[in-house]
Amino acid sequence: MSNSTRDQQLQKIALDHLFFATLETRSSDSLDFHDVSVWAIKTALQAAFEAGRNAAASPSQTQAKK
């Protein structure tokens, strides 16, 4: 998986589960720090774990490792 693809997946997870508009540093406490529920963190971590499992199992990743 390319860094770009990984970053896109992380951005989607952050938006879908944590409601973060961006993962970029914006140099502002009110924009860079958020109160987040533990259940939102849990679902985001589960989504990231599944994305990693799916990437590891994809044929393109298997061929790239050979």
pTM of structure: 0.79
Q: Are residues 23 and 11 in contact, defined by beta-carbon separation less than 8 angstroms? A: yes
**What is the model's pLDDT at position 60?**
72
Joined tokens for residue 19: 């409601």
Question: Using CA of residue 4, residue 5, residue 10, residue 16, what is the dihedral sign?
Answer: positive
Each domain of the chain, given as residue ranges in start order, spans 3-65
Joined tokens for residue 48: 């990231």
pLDDT in tens, 2-57: 899 999 999 999 999 999 999 999 999 999 999 999 999 999 999 999 999 999 99
